Chain A
Amino acid sequence: MVNPIYIFITSLGAAFLLNLFQKINRKIADLIFFLTLAVINYISLFWFYQLLQGYEAAKIYTAGFLPPYSINLYLGIEEAVFLVLINLLGFFSAVYLYKKFREISIKAMILYLVLIMGLNGLVMTRDLFNLFVFLEITSITTYALISLEDNKYSLTAGFKFIIAGGLVSTLFLIGTIYLYRLGGSLNLDFLVNSGVLNTKAGILATFLLVFALLIELKPFPANGWALDVYQSVHPGIAAIIASASSAAIFFVIYKFIPLMPSSFLPLLAGIGGVTFVFSNLMGLKQTDARRLLGYSSIAQMGLLLAALALIMQFDNLQSLSSIIVIIGGLFINHFLAKAGLFWLAGIVQKRNIRSWKIIANNPPLLLVFGGFILALIGLPPFPGFWAKWELVMQLSANNMMVWVWIILAGSLLEAVYLFRWFGYAVKNTEVEEIRTEAAQYLPVLIFLLGLLYLGMEGTHLVSGADSIYVLPVLLGVILYVLNWLPNKLKGSLCLLAVIYFSYRLLPALQDIYQLFGVVFLIGSAVLLITTFARKDIFKGFYPLLIIMILSLGNLLQAKTSLQFFLSWEFITITSYLLILRGKFSLKAALIYITFSLAGAYLILAGMGLAFRDTGVVSLAGLASIVNSGYIYVLLGLGFLIKIGIVGFHVWLPGAYTEAEDDFTPFLSAVLSKMGIFGLIMLAILLGEPVLKGIQLNYILGWLGVLTAFFGALLAAFQEDIKKLLAYSSLGQLGYIVLALAIHSHLGWVTSIYLTFTHLLFKGILFVAVAGLLSRVKTRKMYEMGGLINNMPLTFISVLIAIIALSGVPPLSGFGGKWLLYSSLLEKGWYLQAGLAFFASTIAFLYCYRILHSVFLGQPKTALRDVKEPSVWYIVPQYLFLFGIMAISMYPNLILKPVMSAVSTYFASSIYWEDYTVISSLGYWNGNAVMMVTMGVFMIPLLWLLFRIKAVTKVKQFNIVYAAERPDRPETTHYAHNFFAHYQKALGFLARPKVTEFWGNIAEVIHSVGALFRQLYTGNGQTYAIHILIFLLISYFILGVK
């Protein structure tokens, strides 16, 4: 047993001796410095281990007296956790700072040792005055260490810090001395039992004490000084201030909770919540990387404070494990990630977040950066994810929904600025290299690994989690390590993994789930072939892709809402990172992740409500909820945002267009279906909920048909081929949602049938476009033309896909339309049917445009020698093509399994006679339709072939300009502004009103952030006034009289 008092003895002793040894040899002094840090690490780790084994906590009495006559220290398991973390950070930050320490005198090392010792003391002491002493020790050493960076900025920041710190210690001392006067003791444990809180003066004294500590946690708006400090001090010191010092102060506040009257808790929670939201709001406008980290740090401590104060207020205090998950998760997550990010800021050496693009030259650093960013936002597989999940669940269970919204809103704001920053880092255009040294690099890496390890551990702690659902990450890591393999081999490994996963998963799934399994996994497997065409070295592509695809599968087998949400988040993150790989996708990817996360948070809130009503996290439990309207709206809206329903579709065209060409097929053909799956799952579990007398499915139906209409309309006016297909995809999803909303056997059959056919033809089209764009370096259709001779194979598959898409006989799309109109008429939704029909006619327009502008018409001179794309683009197209032909000839191949799957939930309303499907309104014989259409097609074809000699070949530009002078050559091609006449008639519907709307919202939020940060004038005196005003306002809110 090592007495914990040796932590103080060794560090103080070493601090005194360092100066002496330095006189002999600086190297020896350095060695002693690190040895001391190692020793205190050993002591704290030793105690942590002992206490875990169930040993009794250490009570240390000084001067041979029992408290309250002496100062006493206490080291229990909670203290041990904080000590271990603080000392670990102390050690690694020292390693990180070593070079800086060498440059300046030994005094910096002495100060550093005393600072770490002070933090240890803050955690362990139970004596108020001793606490004050340790507080001052840490403050004074921090002030002195700030001046390590001997520049104007750190000095001004340090001075502002001293002023604030001086006020804090004054308040603390007044509180302490009056508590002593009233309670007769300085010992925390004695004061708690002294009845001092029964007096108003006692409450006032406690208030001063607690608020002095609170200021040290940098609450909004009394924190201007802290931001300056974060911005200007050496990153190694900033890491200590942001993580270790904040941790110690947080723990002190935690120690004080038994002393506080219960009326303090709501106020503490409020202050934490306000700090969390406002810091993140103001962070939106910040461009200095370190100041941004400061905002984020303050916000996170606010969240932690709020979480602590809220948990303490719960009526039924939840199980210990959920408290550990929430507080421990949030705390450790921030502790490791923030320290790591500050260190990283020191390595990168760039102030402006836009200049962080140099990090892209250094993939390991980029990986670390991305990991920390994900962790801070609270995304899996990091501890913060579990903590936020559990926090939302427990808040909901305790009917604190307002808090759920506050926390989710703040998290979203934080995600926006952190992802924006990350986006800048990924887009590399610089050749500048980052100089890294092992001493700086190592601590960062170790902290990230720590975060990952603890995140994985989270699966054992949180109820409803399962480690299977984080396995995809492991596979991704393995693939990342295998990066040196040739691309085709990596792709094949991926393909094998997906096929094996399908082989294991699909038989285990049931009815509709199994069908979606086929869409997700088999669809992805076919699309994977496209990626074999890649030639360049690209890190991270396959790892991200495999995580995404396997998580899609996991989504289907999720038994609890946590498993579902976890997989959902994995897909969101990986797809965001994959979109971000596109050359110009910076903005599009940010919009995508913002909407996706907003949707995910709605889902999370819905799941919280469900947990409140059922008390379990199992998905099947949803079915037992009686009043499920709100849950349906929240979850449904989350899924609809992912689909890109009209009103929330602004992310879709950008993301589809700017993603890499061979990733867009995944987005459209596979990923868009996860929202559809969510909606179907919701309908299976909740049926047709009603909210305040409104049939929600009716609204859903209208949303679907409007999406179909606007998607088609917007597609018709695009010049960019990917954008056209993106809007077309949106429109098609609208049909699927519409059919789903009908909520009948026929409706669902239609919906799933359309899901399948959409996978097939959109898969073809996007792969074909990817192939096309691999040869033609423009996405503008009017710059192409006449490619039918250059790429006949692509032309044929596009032609077939377009026939299938437009829904004309004889291909599968016709069946889809027939089923859709049948089910709509059966339901009696005539108006919707009419609008859907109108939308389909618009679809003809854009379908025709692709064929005409790209493949027909006059060839462009520049594109005369273009060849057929590589075979890897052709194979998946023809696999899908085969699928289309098969189900067009024999619709029962697909309709039979779909019908039987749906009949688990509805009585069947259609039946079969040989190849004919019969509904109450008519019948459809796919085989016969195919034969007849083929016949009708063959006759004119034969006639034209017979007359082929009458054709006259026309040279390019052999046309007459009718009184118009073309300003640019391409404008003579009427493929440019193809539907000008329709635009005149209907263009007003296609104006980007929704995009403007969301743009305005973003603008307003940013402006509000800009407005609030004007509070931070930079004047140290103003900051001191802020502290006083903050104190007074808090006092009045408390209403202590």
Chain B
Amino acid sequence: MTVISILGFILIIIGLWGMLTQKNIIKMIIGFSIIDTGLHLVIVSIGFIKGRTAPIISKAVEGLDTGKNFIDPVPSALVLTAIVIGLAITALMLVYAVKLFRFKRSLQIEDFEELKW
């Protein structure tokens, strides 16, 4: 466990806490965003190897054995996708928030409990 991944998990827990305790829908979405950020940190930290450089082939690394000097490129690639997806979901959540607000003039999650049982 690196410091970054621990930090990431702390962020995930903070975000989760926010999502589960905040009654305001916008605040819940912010909670979700924090979870996402923490998650991305965790993913990146998995691929990090101390003392190595970013997996970008450029003039600076010419001649070096990339296998031994690069960090693991896969998590970096994954995190890009994850960020995009997280963005899409956050955007969609906000759209929902706007639409919900138009119906009820409220952003409190308890105001949307008509469907139950």
- Indicate whether A and B interact: yes
Does the CB pair A156–B81 fall under 8 Å? no
Q: Which residue of B lies closest to A1010 (CB)?
A: B117
Contact of A1019 (CB < 8 Å), options: B35, B78, B97, B109: B109
Residues of A within 8 A of B82 (CB): 132, 173
In the complex, the answer to whether B78 meets A177 with C-beta atoms within 8 Å is yes
Binary interface encoding of chain B residues 32-47 relative to chain A, with 1 for a CB under 8 A from any of its CBs, else 0: 1001100100110010
**Cα distance A186–B42 in the bound complex, in angstroms:** 16
Residue of A139, A156, A1019, A1025 with most chain B CB atoms under a 10 A cut-off: A156
Say yes or no: is B52 at the interface (Cβ < 8 Å to chain A).
no
Is B100 among interface residues, defined by CB-CB distance under 8 A?
Answer: yes
State in angstroms the CA–CA spacing of A173 and B36 once bound together: 10
> In chain B between 64 and 109, which residues have their CB closer than 8 angstroms to a CB of chain A?
74-75, 78, 81-82, 85, 88-89, 92-93, 96-97, 99-100, 103-104, 109
Decide: A133 and B81 in contact? CB cutoff 8 A: yes
* Dominant secondary structure of chain B at its interface with chain A: helix
Q: Is the pair B115, A232 in contact by a Cβ cutoff of 8 Å?
A: yes
Q: Which of the residues B20, B74, B96 comes within 8 Å of A155, measured between beta carbons?
A: B96
Q: Smallest CB-CB separation from B23: which chain A residue?
A: A1021
Tell me whether B115 and A153 are in contact (CB under 8 A).
yes
Residue of B nearest to A1024 (CB): B20
Check B62 for interface membership: any CB of A closer than 8 A.
no
| B12, B25, B28 interface centre (most CB from chain A within 10 Å) | B28
How long is the Cα–Cα vector from A166 to B117 in the complex, in angstroms?
23
* Interface size class, chain B: 35 or more
The answer to whether B104 and A152 touch across the interface, beta carbons within 8 angstroms, is yes
Q: A389 CA to B89 CA in the complex, in Å?
A: 44
Task: Report yes or no: A180 in contact with B75, Cβ–Cβ below 8 A.
Answer: yes
Closest approach, in angstroms, between the C-beta of A48 and any C-beta of chain B?
A: 31
Contact, CB under 8 Å: B93 / A159 = yes
Is the beta-carbon distance between A136 and B25 smaller than 8 angstroms?
no
B43 A177 Cβ-Cβ under 8 A: yes
A1017 part of interface (Cβ distance < 8 Å): yes
Cβ of A827 < 8 Å from any Cβ of B? no
B20 touches A129 (CB 8 A): no
| Given A147-B96, A159-B96, A186 and B85 contact (CB-CB distance below 8 Å) | no
* Interface residue A51 (Cβ < 8 Å from any Cβ of B): no
Per a CB cutoff under 8 Å, which of A165, A232, A1021 touches B109? A1021
Query: Which residues of A lie under 8 Å from residue B25 when comparing CB positions?
Result: 159
Q: A129-B81, A153-B114 are in contact. Are A177 and B96 (CB under 8 A)?
A: no
* B46 & A1018 in contact (Cβ 8 Å cutoff): no
Tell me whether A170 and B12 are in contact (CB under 8 A). Answer: yes
Contact between chains at B85 and A181 (CB < 8 Å): no
Q: Is B103 in contact with A152, judged by CB distance below 8 angstroms?
A: yes
- Min Cβ gap A163→B in Å is 7
**Given A155-B99, A1024-B20, A1025-B20, residue A166 in contact with residue B35 (CB < 8 A):** yes
Contact (Cβ within 8 A) B115 A228: yes
A1020 to B46, CA, bound (A): 32
How far apart are the CA atoms of A394 and B16 in the complex, in Å? 44
* CB of A918, distance to nearest CB on chain B (Å): 70
B39 touches A170 (CB 8 A): yes
B114–A152 contact, CB under 8 A? yes
8 Å CB interface, A23-59 against B: none
For residue B43, which residue of chain A has the nearest CB? A177
List of A residues within 8 angstroms of B28 by Cβ: 163, 1021
Cβ contacts under 8 Å, A1020 to chain B: 109, 112
A198 interface contact, C-beta 8 A: no
Given known contacts A152-B103, A166-B35, A1018 and B113 CB-to-CB distance under 8 angstroms: yes
Query: Which residues A216-274 have CB closer than 8 A to chain B?
Result: 224, 227-228, 231-232
Would you give the shortest CB distance from A517 to chain B, in whole angstroms? 51
B115 near A173 (CB under 8 angstroms)? no
A533 to B32, CA, bound (A): 71
What is the minimal beta-carbon distance from B72 to any residue of chain A, in angstroms? 9
| Complex contact A156–B39 (CB within 8 A) | no
Q: Which residue of A153, A173, A285 is within 8 Å of B39 (Cβ)? A: A173
Q: Shortest CB–CB separation between residue B42 and chain A, in angstroms?
A: 7
Contact with B along A184-218 (1 / 0, CB 8 A): 00100000000000000000000000000000000
- Complex contact A144–B92 (CB within 8 A): yes
Q: Is the CB of B112 within 8 A of A159?
A: yes
Question: Which residues of the partner chain B approach A132 to less than 8 Å between Cβ atoms?
Answer: 82
Q: Report the separation of the CA atoms of residues A1016 and B116 in the bound assembly, to the nearest whole angstrom.
A: 6
- Residues in chain A near residue B36, CB distance under 8 A: 170
Does A1013 reach chain B (CB closer than 8 Å)? yes
Q: Which of A165-180 contact B (CB under 8 A)?
A: 165-166, 169-170, 173-174, 177-178, 180
Cβ B75 vs Cβ A177 within 8 A = yes
The A100-150 residues at the B interface (CB cut-off 8 A) are: 129, 132-133, 136, 139-140, 143-144, 147, 150
Note all chain B residues with C-beta closer than 8 A to A1016. Answer: 116-117
In the complex, A170 Cα to B9 Cα: how many Å?
11
State whether A186 touches B74 (Cβ < 8 A).
yes
* Assembled-state Cα–Cα distance A143/B96 (Å): 9
- The answer to whether A180 touches B114 (Cβ under 8 A) is no
Q: State A725–B100 Cα separation when bound (angstroms).
A: 62
- Given A136-B85, A162-B89, A166-B32, A1019 and B113 contact (CB-CB distance below 8 Å): yes
For the complex formed, measure the closest distance between the CB of A157 and the CB atoms of chain B, giving whole angstroms.
Answer: 6
The reply to whether B96 and A133 form a contact with Cβ atoms under 8 Å apart is no
The answer on a CB contact under 8 Å between A162 and B116 is no
Q: Tell whether A158 is near chain B: CB-to-CB under 8 Å.
A: yes
Interface 1/0 per residue, B15-29 and A, CB below 8 Å: 010011101010010
Partner of B43, one of A173, A282, A1021: A173
Q: Are A129 and B78 in contact (CB under 8 A)?
A: yes
Chain B proximity of A809: nearest CB distance (Å) = 64
Chain B residues within 8 Å of A227, by CB? 115
Inter-chain CA distance A738–B8, complex, in Å, is 76
Cα distance A158–B21 when bound, in Å? 20
Chain B residue at smallest Cβ distance from A1021: B109
Q: Which of B21, B32, B81, B89: most chain A CB closer than 10 A?
A: B89
| B46 near A177: Cβ-Cβ < 8 Å | yes
Say yes or no: is A958 at the interface (Cβ < 8 Å to chain B).
Answer: no
With CB as the reference atom, state the residue of chain B lying closest to A143: B92
Kindly state the separation between the CA atoms of A186 and B78 in the bound complex, as whole angstroms: 11
**CB-CB < 8 A to B39: which residues of A?**
170, 173-174
B96 and A166 contact, CB distance less than 8 A: no
For A1019, the chain B residues whose CB sits under 8 A away are 109-110, 113
Please give the distance in Å from A288's CB to the nearest CB on chain B: 9
Nearest chain A residue, comparing its CB with the CB of B91: A140
Any chain B CB within 8 A of the CB of A1014?
A: yes
C-alpha gap A1020/B29 in the complex (Å): 12
**Closest chain A residue to B115 by CB distance?**
A228
Smallest beta-carbon distance A417→chain B, Å: 14
Residues of B within 8 Å of A224, CB to CB, are 116
In contact, A1018 and B115 (Cβ under 8 angstroms): yes
Known A129-B78, A1019-B110: A159·B100 in contact at CB below 8 Å? yes
- Collect the chain A residues with CB atoms within 8 Å of residue B104's CB: 152
Residues of B within 8 A of A1013 (CB): 117
Instruction: Give the shortest distance, in Å, between B114 (CB) and chain A (any CB).
Output: 6
Question: Roughly how many angstroms separate A139 CA and B116 CA in the complex, as a whole number?
Answer: 22
Q: Which of A139, A157, A178, A1014 contacts B115 (CB 8 A)?
A: A157
Question: What is the CA–CA distance of A1013 and B75 in the complex, to the nearest angstrom?
Answer: 42
B74 contact set on A, CB distance < 8 A: 180, 186
Q: Within the complex, which residue of A143, A169, A1018, A1024 is in contact with B19, where a contact is CB–CB below 8 Å? A: A1024
**Whole-angstrom distance between the alpha carbons of A577 and B34 in the complex?**
57
Contacts A156-B100, A166-B32, A1018-B115 known; 16 new A-B pairs at CB < 8 A: A129-B78, A144-B92, A152-B103, A152-B112, A153-B115, A156-B112, A157-B115, A159-B25, A159-B93, A163-B32, A177-B46, A180-B46, A180-B74, A186-B74, A227-B115, A1018-B114
A-B pairs, 8 with minimum CB distance = A1018-B116, A1018-B113, A156-B112, A228-B115, A152-B103, A1013-B117, A136-B85, A159-B96
Q: Could you pull out 11 A-B pairs where Cβ atoms are within 8 angstroms?
A: A147-B99, A152-B104, A153-B115, A173-B39, A173-B43, A174-B39, A186-B74, A232-B115, A1018-B117, A1019-B110, A1021-B23
